[in-house]
Amino acid sequence: MLIIRRLIILNFVLALFATAGCAQNERIGATGGGRDRLVIETASGDEHQFYVELADDPEERRTGLMYRTEMAEDAGMLFDFETVQPISMWMKNTLIPLDMAFIDEEGVIRRIAPMTTPKSLVSVSSGTPVLSVLEVNGGTFEKLGIKAGDRVRHPLFNK
């Protein structure tokens, strides 16, 4: 009887750890923790720091921020498309509104798509060939005064 009780308690504790791990996967955390530091310099001279996950292979680019239920204010995802090309993104299975910055090989933001619609299948185009896309919480770029023409500092653009 004591062994059965201990096994039940052990299973309960293991289930709690598994649940905590799943909840963590739904949210991109803030302030580092294995994420790349990225800085956006605005035309006015302000600098805004983000910690981003890098999507640099086909599977990571395909999945992106799908199924995430929240994201820290200073978090995001940087998509590396490896070559300069016209890019189209969509919001399929993405549950939170996002701002998308389309960035050229020099790290210059060429276009911003603000407050994209969750779960939308509408294509969001770069409008010009770019190397990467930065996704952050919807409304962030407007709140921080980030606009097309601002510069992004990240190792991806130091090649």
Q: Is residue 74 part of a domain?
A: yes
Q: Is residue 61 part of a domain?
A: yes
- What is the mean pLDDT of the segment spanning 114-120? 98
Scan for tokens 């050229």, then name that residue: 104
Q: Is residue 13 part of a domain?
A: no
Number of structural domains in the chain: 1
CATH number of the structural domain spanning residue 44: 2.60.120.1140
Distances (CA, A) of 105 to 19, 62, 63, 70: 40, 21, 23, 29
Residue 138 belongs to domain spanning: 28-157
Phi-psi region of 26 (alpha: psi -120 to 50; beta: other; left: phi over 0): alpha
Measured distance CA(18)–CA(113) in Å, rounded: 36
Q: Is residue 79 part of a domain?
A: yes
**pLDDT exceeds cutoff 60 at 147:** yes
Write out pLDDT tens, residues 48-99: 999 999 999 999 999 999 999 999 999 999 999 999 999 999 999 999 999 9
Measured distance CA(65)–CA(53) in Å, rounded: 10
Tokens representing 155 are 């190792």
- What is the mean pLDDT of the segment spanning 100-110? 98
Q: Is residue 97 part of a domain?
A: yes
Tokens representing 144 are 């921080």
Q: Is residue 4 part of a domain?
A: no
Q: Is residue 2 part of a domain?
A: no
Average model confidence (pLDDT) for the chain? 86
